[in-house]
C-alpha cells in the first residue's frame, strides 16, 4: 500500500499542525494554553458561584449575557489561533533562480562597494510610492503590507504582529477575528468584574465585607484576575480600534510607515477616508483563500526508476561482450621482451581497466593479437604495466 504524505509535513516554516493539517499554529503554544486556562477558569468560577445568586436576586439575564459573551470569546480565539494568518508560500528553486536573474542592481553591475545594494522594487498604490522588499529567506518580493515573521519564519500578507497570547501570527486572514476577540474579551472582563463586585456588595449587606468574602471566596479570585487583566485588555482593544478606524497595522504604526519624513508628504494609501468604511473593510471585507495547500499530497519532482526498468548486468545494447582485466607486475626477459603476467585473464574490454588512469581500447581492427598497455603507479610507487587484451 502506497503511503500518502501530506504537504504540511514538509512545510518549511516553524509552525505546528494538528488534525492532519487542518489546524495551523505557531511553534510555541504555552502562552496560548495559559490564555485559554485563565478565561475558562474565571468564567467557570463565575457560572458556578455568582450566576445563581445574581439570577435570583437581580435578573436571569445576567447568566445568559455571560454565556453569550463567553461562547463568542472562545469562538473568535480559536478561529484566530487555528487558522492560516495569510502565509505567502516560498518560491521554488526554479522561481527563485528566475527572480535572481531579473533583479536589477541599482548601483550598476560594476559596483565597487563591498556590501550588495538593497533589493527593492517600487509600486504605486493610490498615488503613493510603496517599496517591495526582497525576502532572502522566502526568495520572493513581498507584496505591499507583508512582512516576514522571525518567530514563525514565514512571510505573512498584511502582517500585523505575532501574538503569543493567541499562539499565532495576526495577518490578513485572521485579523478581524483577533480584533473581535480582544473587543469581546474586554466586554466580558468588565461584565464579570462588575457582577463580582455586585455579588460581594449584596452579600455584605447582611454582615461585613469579610463575611461576604468567606461566603463566596471564588468571587475574590475572579475579581483579582479581572482587575489585573482589564487594564491591558482595554488598552489593547482601544489601540486596535484606532488602527481599524485608520486602516493601519501594528507593524506600520510602529515603523511610522505613513508619517511625514524629511519634509516629504506621506499619507496612508489604504485609508478610505471614512472611519465607518475603514472599519467595514477590516471587519466585514472578504477573506482571501489560503495560499498554503496544507492537506495536499506531496508529489515527487523526479520519477525514480523502478528495479524492473533498469538494465540487467548481462545485457549489452551494442552487441559487445564485457571482458575482465587483471593487474600484475610485468615479466621482463633478459633481452627486454615483455610477457603478460601469470594471472592475466584476457578478454575484450570496452571501459576502464580499474587503475589510476582510465584505459581506452584500441580500434576493433587492432584488438586481435595486439597488446596495449599504459603506465600505472602501485601503492609502493613502483612502475608497473597493466595489460589488456
Q: What is the pTM of this model?
A: 0.72
| CA terminus-to-terminus distance, the chain | 51
DSSP 160-214: -EEETTTTEEE-TTTHHHHHHHHHHHHHHHHHHHHHHHHHHHHHTTSS-HHHHHH
The whole-angstrom separation of Cα 179 and Cα 341 is: 88
SS3 221: helix
Per DSSP, 7 falls in state G
The answer to whether 167 and 29 have CB atoms below 8 angstroms apart is yes
Instruction: List the pLDDT tens digit at each of the 389 positions of the chain.
Output: 567 788 898 899 899 999 989 999 999 999 999 999 999 999 999 999 999 999 999 999 999 999 999 999 999 999 999 999 999 999 988 888 888 777 755 445 555 544 554 678 888 888 888 888 999 899 999 999 999 999 999 999 999 999 999 999 999 999 999 999 999 999 999 999 999 999 999 988 877 888 888 888 999 999 999 999 999 999 999 999 999 999 999 999 998 888 766 556 778 889 898 999 999 999 998 999 999 988 888 876 544 444 454 455 444 444 444 444 444 555 555 555 555 555 544 444 444 444 444 444 444 444 444 343 333 334 333 333 333 33
SS3 52: helix
The whole-angstrom separation of Cα 140 and Cα 89 is: 9
Residue 206 has a pLDDT of 79
The whole-angstrom separation of Cα 7 and Cα 292 is: 9
The answer to whether 297 and 7 have CB atoms below 8 angstroms apart is yes
Residue 97 has a pLDDT of 84
Catalytic residues: 163
Amino acid at each position: 500500500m502506497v503511503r500518502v504524505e501530506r504537504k504540511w509535513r514538509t512545510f518549511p516554516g516553524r509552525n505546528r499542525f494538528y488534525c492532519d493539517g487542518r489546524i495551523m499554529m505557531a511553534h510555541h503554544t504555552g502562552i496560548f494554553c495559559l490564555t485559554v486556562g485563565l478565561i475558562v477558569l474565571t468564567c467557570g468560577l463565575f457560572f458556578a458561584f455568582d450566576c445563581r445568586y445574581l439570577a435570583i436576586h437581580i435578573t436571569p439575564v445576567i447568566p445568559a449575557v455571560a454565556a453569550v459573551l463567553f461562547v463568542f470569546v472562545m469562538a473568535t480565539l480559536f478561529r484566530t489561533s487555528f487558522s492560516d494568518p495569510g502565509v505567502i508560500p516560498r518560491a521554488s528553486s526554479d522561481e527563485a533562480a528566475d527572480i535572481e536573474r531579473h533583479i536589477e542592481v541599482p548601483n550598476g553591475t560594476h559596483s565597487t562597494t563591498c556590501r550588495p545594494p538593497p533589493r527593492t522594487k517600487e509600486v504605486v498604490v493610490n498615488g503613493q510610492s510603496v517599496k517591495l522588499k526582497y525576502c532572502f529567506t522566502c526568495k520572493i518580493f513581498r507584496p505591499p503590507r507583508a512582512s516576514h515573521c522571525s518567530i514563525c519564519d514565514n512571510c505573512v500578507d498584511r502582517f500585523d504582529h505575532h501574538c503569543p497570547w493567541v499562539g499565532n501570527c495576526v495577518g490578513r486572514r485572521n485579523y478581524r477575528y483577533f480584533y473581535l476577540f480582544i473587543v469581546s474579551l474586554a466586554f466580558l472582563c468588565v461584565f464579570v468584574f462588575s457582577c463580582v463586585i455586585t455579588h460581594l456588595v449584596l452579600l455584605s449587606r447582611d454582615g461585613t465585607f469579610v463575611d461576604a468574602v468567606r461566603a463566596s471566596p471564588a468571587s475574590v479570585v475572579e475579581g483579582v484576575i479581572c482587575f489585573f487583566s482589564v487594564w491591558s485588555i482595554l488598552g489593547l482593544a482601544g489601540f486596535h480600534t484606532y488602527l481599524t478606524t485608520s486602516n493601519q497595522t501594528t507593524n506600520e504604526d510602529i515603523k511610522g510607515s505613513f508619517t511625514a519624513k524629511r519634509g516629504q508628504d506621506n499619507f496612508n494609501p489604504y485609508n478610505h477616508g471614512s472611519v465607518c468604511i475603514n472599519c467595514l473593510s477590516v471587519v466585514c471585507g472578504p477573506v482571501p483563500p489560503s495560499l498554503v495547500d496544507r492537506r495536499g499530497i506531496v508529489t515527487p519532482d523526479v520519477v525514480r526508476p523502478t528495479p524492473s526498468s533498469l538494465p540487467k548486468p548481462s545485457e549489452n545494447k551494442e552487441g559487445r561482450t564485457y571482458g575482465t582485466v587483471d593487474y600484475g607486475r610485468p615479466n621482463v626477459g633478459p633481452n627486454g621482451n615483455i610477457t603478460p603476467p601469470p594471472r592475466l585473464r584476457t578478454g575484450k574490454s570496452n571501459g576502464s581497466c580499474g587503475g589510476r588512469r582510465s584505459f581506452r581500447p584500441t580500434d576493433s581492427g587492432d584488438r586481435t593479437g595486439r597488446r596495449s598497455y599504459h603506465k600505472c603507479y602501485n601503492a609502493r610507487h613502483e612502475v608497473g604495466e597493466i595489460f589488456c587484451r
